[in-house]
Structure 1
Amino acid sequence: MNLDLIKNLARGPLAGDDDLESAMSLTRLVRDAYTSFGTDRSADVEPEESRIILRALTMVLERRGITFEPPWRDYNSFKSHWVSLGATNTGGWQARRDIIGHHFDPISEALEKAEDAQIRSDLVEPVSPHANTGWARVDTEIAGLRQRFRTATAMQDYRDCGNRSVAVLEALSATVFDPTKHWTADEKPPPVDKTDLRIGAYITERMRGRENEELRGLVKKASALAHKVKHSPNADRVNAGIAADAVILLANMLRRLAE
């Protein structure tokens, strides 16, 4: 058991960590510790640590909107609680397991439902049979975006998903745009962050004509949406997910265009 890590989790989500997965792991750890103590006193967690891990779990669950208020705070108070309920003598160990289940089962069920919802709202996968675009910088940014979205739980996290969506667009801008092919020689080419201009110029060179205006329009819309989420004071999972899906699909469309 990494007690320092558990203490840090109690203070707030860790950078790059999946807070839901940590909540589920910590729930199992705490439940196993108290179950072992209540069954045969063989818990690996020391008595002075039992209070720390239970308090940490309460705070981690609170971040997810889950109330967890067991009527004990450590091993000693847990023992006092089961004695007060008559969970002693013959068959007491099963009675103590039932007490644990009464308080922990609803928590586990709530976390599993949250995990199911997270899986259902995961980001889009391209229709292409390729696992990635093959453009190293773009694939690195997309992987970072997927990881950030998977671990996001708060408004600031979702706003950062918008920021990472913009980073994907800038990686695409740096990858596909060639000023010697896609820009007028007597004009200064736009900088990398002018993604709609640079990617739009690339599409124009690859697919000329009015019949391809819709594809160029997708670039502008994806860019506008990503920047909107990046600066939104009300960013949420729905809007961040839509922006992320848009830039991931755009990356795969451009890769298909390049082929």
Structure 2
Amino acid sequence: MPDYDRKRLAEALCANEAAFQLNYGLDPDDIHAEPSNVDQVEGSEAALPNLILQKEMMISVATGGQRIQDVNDYYRARHVDLKSSVPALGLSYSNPHDDLWSWYHYWRAHLPQYADRRQYVRELFDPLIAAASNRTSIAVVEREPTGWERVDRALSKAQAQLAGATNEEDFQTVGMLCREVLISVGQAVYDGKRHVTLDGVKPSSTDAKRMLEAFLHSVFPGDSFKEVRGHARASVDLGLNLHHRRTATRQLAELCLEATASTSAVMKILSQNAQAM
């Protein structure tokens, strides 16, 4: 860090801390910077607060608040970070102002009123802030591939879809992909010559629920294993519900993908045991 920036940082830290100098007898020039051992925050946890700070700083300098010369270096550093961190979340950071002087010249030429400047910045940042706030640090547990090519491929697509999802239609697509996963699982384990459906109806090639129930009834008959069968049925129902829910949310998509992945793993274990018998 350059000496000038170190001094400014030290002065800022001590600006409202007269007791600091009184108690320790140190001037700001005595402070030196050292690398931190704290783990760096990444992902949406890092991008979201930076987006909010950038938005508020642009509004502040354009409406009689902070002076550009006092905060421009912070703005520029944050701008560089956002250009790399936001696209990593599957989002687009489209702020055209590399520094606050660029923003100054723009508002002077095009936005004479404070209200116009606030509206411009909000339109620039609010959709991105909303999308970043939708991101979550809770990830679906990664499991070993099942070995069923179509199942593993569709699960991978569903995970990628969830990672980039920002709206209801995106989350609905996760449900559609989860349904495709369970159809492929059903096709992998169901054998029409060996497995009989509970209602006697021969399942179609896309009837995941009947295929899975018939397989499970064969390997886990009786009431003592009804919870295992219920888990598979719930996974199918959740995928169907999410696919058609116009108010789909990220939480529902996460639950659906987790249920689908776990059902796929359970079916793989059972199919291997069934083959060994």
TM bin (shorter chain): 0.5 to 0.7
Identify the residue that residue 78 of structure 1 maps to in structure 2: 102
Counterpart selection for 1:147 from 152, 155, 160? 160
Identify the residue that residue 208 of structure 1 maps to in structure 2: 221
Counterpart selection for 2:237 from 210, 220, 224? 224
Deviation, structure 1 residue 195: 1.1
Per-residue CA distance 1:14-58 (angstroms, 9 max, x = gap)? xxxxxx8xx99xx9xxxxxxxxxx99xxxxxxxxxxxxxxxx9xx
Task: Flag the 1:154–1:116 CA change in 2: closer, same or farther, 3 A.
Answer: closer
Q: How does 1:1-259 map to 2 (within 5 A)?
A: 78=102, 81=105, 114=132, 117-118=135-136, 120-126=137-143, 131-183=144-196, 189-259=202-272
Which ranges in structure 1 are unaligned for 5 or more consecutive residues? 1-19, 28-37, 40-55, 85-102
Deviation, structure 1 residue 219: 1.4
CA distance in 1, matches of 2:202, 2:175: 25
Point out which structure has higher relative CO (alpha carbons under 8 A, 6+ apart). 1
Query: Which entry has the higher C-alpha Rg, 1 or 2?
Result: 2
Alignment partner of 1:181: what SS? coil
CA distance in 1, matches of 2:261, 2:235: 10
Alignment partner of 1:182: what SS? coil
CA distance in 2, matches of 1:194, 1:80: 61
Task: Flag the 1:74–1:139 CA change in 2: closer, same or farther, 3 A.
Answer: closer
Which ranges in structure 2 are unaligned for 5 or more consecutive residues? 1-43, 52-71, 74-82, 109-120, 273-277
CA distance in 2, matches of 1:181, 1:210: 20
Opposite residue 78 of structure 1, the aligned amino acid is S
Aligned residues: 170
State the TM-score, normalized to the length of structure 1.
Answer: 0.55
RMSD: 4.2
User: Percentage identity across aligned positions?
Assistant: 21
State the TM-score, normalized to the length of structure 2.
Answer: 0.51
CA distance in 1, matches of 2:148, 2:215: 16
Q: Give structure 1 regions of 4+ aligned residues with deviation exceeding 2 angstroms.
A: 72-75, 79-82, 113-118
